[in-house]
Structure 1
Amino acid sequence: MQERPDWIPEGVDLAKPSAARCYDFYLGGAHNFEADRELGRQVMKVVPNVQEVAVNNRAFLRRAVRYCLDQGIRQFLDIGSGIPTAGNVHEIVHAVDPEARVVYVDNEPVAVAHSRTILGDNERATVVQADLLDVEDVLDAPETQAMLDFSQPIAVMMVALVHFVPESKKPRDVIRRYYERLPAGSYLGFSHVTGDHYPEGVQGLVKLYESSSNPVTLRTRDEVAEMIDDFEIVEPGVVYVPNWRPDTPEDAWENPERSIVYGAVGRKA
């Protein structure tokens, strides 16, 4: 039986893998358990480049955050932020402006517990334990309200998150509720897994994640675009993440569809 680390919050089932901890495993992190690693190893058999996929999705997050900073945004709400790793949103943001503010949100207790440890007494960043679907719990949390000024634009990140929301939960309506609460000039950074070009391998991933706390729903490019079309999508539109404003030509993959993730950034007019 796996020994339970003393920093793990009560109620966390170490035998049931979670998406946040599997993602941490793909990125080479240490805050995952044997159940997460076992699922991750099975996923690697059906999607052999899944670690590269995770790294590139993380790189998209960094580029999306930097883009929003370049547009003058100084408030960030990272929903589904997961286990903290190098290159967190607050690290990117505070390198540009130490006074900028960041709120992390996740419903995974391990992610939240470790985030609180990482942030410590950081007065410009905080974490909220809440679910994307509970819009009021996210936006009206005391930590969120204390950290963010809703009279000024906010950049919301929903990166590698909404594919864990089934159609029965009406994700498009959920995103619209966030849109309605955001002030004009706000941005949304968004990425989502797809089976458009590698359906067999990605369907294998979906099958494996059925046993986890976070089953996956694949969506096409058109479905992804429709989910976020309240926002004005900035160039280059909804594209595979390696092709979203790569830092150098070498960063754009020769076969970007192998990333199996679409990304986009939109603005509320």
Structure 2
Amino acid sequence: MTEQNPVGIDTSKPHPARMYDWYLGGKDNYPVDEAMGRQMLELEPRVPVMARVNRAFMHRATTWLAREGIRQFLDIGTGIPTEPNLHQVAQRIAPESRVVYCDNDPIVLAHAAALLRGTDEGATDYLQADVRDPDTILAGTRKVLDFERPIALSLIALLHFVPDEDGAHELVARLVSELPSGSYLVVSHATADFTPEESREATEKMKAAGVTLALRSREEFARFFTGLELVDPGIEVPHRWHPELGDPVPGQDDGVIPGYGAVGRKP
């Protein structure tokens, strides 16, 4: 694992990675995370299902990419390990796959060993860094991945925590600009398009707790893929993106999950 500077865990306000862990039934969260999670449930009871749908989208996208011959993956906003992790999905298909995980929550770092149990043929590494610092991420990733060969950049349920003021679209463009031709961008993102009133309340509650929530429209989501070739079926609600590649999430119906998912190829 790449050496990191020690950083304290802030338990004074909720953190998206720990809330996500709580939604998934994990134990690596704090009362402040559970409290905010319960407030979100009051507004949208399907939030735990939505978390699992996002996770399932990542599994299916990784499966599709590995079958297409992609052998290198950069996963930013990794979250607290929940098996199967991305490297396990990829390495089951291609044991030689190489994966770099990245997150900014120290609690993820504390559990990073679970992310590093890959195959002998492949490689896994972990970076403690924020998506708002692409230069650090790219420098660390270059130590593990070959930027002369295609790379899949995965940003799952992350960018709705990066507001426009922080340059979300510019950050993604910067990362993609460094990837070679034949690379892919994988993104899932929450939206207010389907539940505007509930989403407005959720955004306000999260802001009061110190967490920014930027719920982007379909058009704003599409901007992340500027210059890329969208993989069929294009921009979809996450559970409708190649559903044949995985099993349905328990509790999921075919109603609209308020989010989008897509995969794009760099020409």
Q: CA deviation at 1:116?
A: 3.1
The equivalent residue for 1:42 is 39
Aligned partner of 1:192 among 176, 189, 192: 189
Q: CA deviation at 1:204?
A: 2.0
Residue type of the alignment partner of 2:130: D
1:80 aligns with 2:80: no
Structure 2 unaligned regions, length at least 5 = 1-5
CA distance in structure 2 between the partners assigned to 1:268 and 1:75 by the alignment: 14
CA distance in structure 2 between the partners assigned to 1:122 and 1:69 by the alignment: 15
CA distance in structure 2 between the partners assigned to 1:122 and 1:147 by the alignment: 15
The equivalent residue for 1:239 is 236
Q: CA deviation at 1:201?
A: 1.4
The equivalent residue for 1:176 is 173
Contact 2:63/2:245 (<8 A) preserved: no
Q: Deviation string for 1:68-106 (max 9, x for gaps)?
A: 111100000000011110121011011112221000000
Q: Deviation string for 1:118-141 (max 9, x for gaps)?
A: 426876111001111211100102
Residue type of the alignment partner of 2:84: G
CA distance in structure 2 between the partners assigned to 1:198 and 1:263 by the alignment: 17
CA distance in structure 2 between the partners assigned to 1:163 and 1:176 by the alignment: 16
The equivalent residue for 1:204 is 201
Structure 1 unaligned regions, length at least 5 = 1-8
Residue type of the alignment partner of 1:136: D
Q: CA deviation at 1:250?
A: 8.0
CA distance in structure 1 between the partners assigned to 2:124 and 2:132 by the alignment: 22
CA distance in structure 2 between the partners assigned to 1:117 and 1:94 by the alignment: 15
TM-score by length of 2: 0.91
Count of aligned pairs: 257
Q: CA deviation at 1:64?
A: 0.7
The equivalent residue for 1:254 is 254
Contact 1:186/1:268 (<8 A) preserved: yes
Q: 1:250 to 1:181 in 2, by over 3 A?
A: closer
Q: 1:117 to 1:59 in 2, by over 3 A?
A: closer
SS of residue in 2 equivalent to 1:147? coil
Identity %: 40
Aligned partner of 2:223 among 226, 235, 259: 226
CA distance in structure 2 between the partners assigned to 1:250 and 1:91 by the alignment: 17
1:86-235 pair list within 5 angstroms: 86-119=83-116, 124-141=123-140, 144-212=141-209, 214-235=211-232
